[in-house]
Amino acid sequence: MFTLPDLDYDYSALAPHIAAEIMELHHSKHHQAYVTGANTAWDKLAEARDTGNFATVAKLEKDLAFNLGGHINHSLAWKNMSPDGGGEPVGALAEAIGEGFNGFATFKKQFTEVAMTIQGSGWSVLAWDVCGSRLSTFQQYDHQGNLPAAQIPLLVLDMWEHAFYLQYRNVKADYVAAWWNVVNWADVAARYEKARAQAGGLL
């Protein structure tokens, strides 16, 4: 069973960058709904196996992909933010971003553009490309679409309207600019170290 993880900080801790009202609804309602949905999909797949009735299997797999994506993405997103965040990465992650994106400033521009140009709901993602042994960015549609294969997510930015609309209305650029102030680079760096251990050997 998937469960809703506690946050490491209070709902109000990311203000003024992310308002407490957004954090509370986002975590306790939206994220919870994905947890429930993922568990339901697993349960119904088990039921299909038990009864031998696989008529709904395609729908259940879609439900699982969407809801488990929502659960994983949000779990990561909460850890990727911190009231003590912001600034720039240091150490090995900083070096990899520097090499992979022609410096941090260019990375920030690229990641922001990835976020700003998503059509509809989705996520901007920085990931470890396992086969290429390098960092990559991509647009994740909804919670689960448009992923290049074999990517381990390190840093995710929620570009669904529920993530910003109560505070920033339609001005996505202000939301993204504020979000950079709460990025937990220590968390991203720890994920980078773990992800690099998965390098290569898949193909």
Nearer to Mn ion, 160 or 185 (CB): 160
Decide: 128 and 196 in contact? Cβ < 8 Å.
yes
- Half-sphere exposure at residue 2, Cβ-oriented, CA atoms within 13 angstroms: 23
Q: How far is the CB of 25 from Mn ion (least distance, A)?
A: 10
Q: How far is the CB of 15 from Mn ion (least distance, A)?
A: 17
**How, if at all, do strands 122-129 and 134-141 pair?**
antiparallel
Nearer to Mn ion, 40 or 121 (CB): 121
Nearer to Mn ion, 158 or 187 (CB): 158
Q: How far is the CB of 161 from Mn ion (least distance, A)?
A: 9
Nearer to Mn ion, 63 or 158 (CB): 158
Q: What are φ and ψ of residue 158, in 5° steps?
A: -75, 115
Q: How far is the CB of 9 from Mn ion (least distance, A)?
A: 17
Q: Does 122 bind Mn ion (CB under 5 A)?
A: no
Nearer to Mn ion, 85 or 122 (CB): 122
Which residue is closest to Mn ion by CB? 158
Nearest C-alpha neighbor of 153 from the set 113, 191, 96: 191
How buried is residue 145: exposed, middle or buried, by Cβ count under 10 Å (0-12/13-18/19+)? middle
Q: Does 179 bind Mn ion (CB under 5 A)?
A: no
Nearer to Mn ion, 14 or 97 (CB): 14
Q: Does 158 bind Mn ion (CB under 5 A)?
A: yes
Q: Does 160 bind Mn ion (CB under 5 A)?
A: yes
Q: How far is the CB of 13 from Mn ion (least distance, A)?
A: 17
Nearest C-alpha neighbor of 67 from the set 144, 125, 156, 151: 144
How far is residue 85 from each of residues 24, 47, 117, 180, measured CA to CA in Å? 19, 44, 25, 8
Q: What contacts 75, CB < 8 A, 6 or more positions away? A: 5, 31
Q: Does 164 bind Mn ion (CB under 5 A)?
A: no
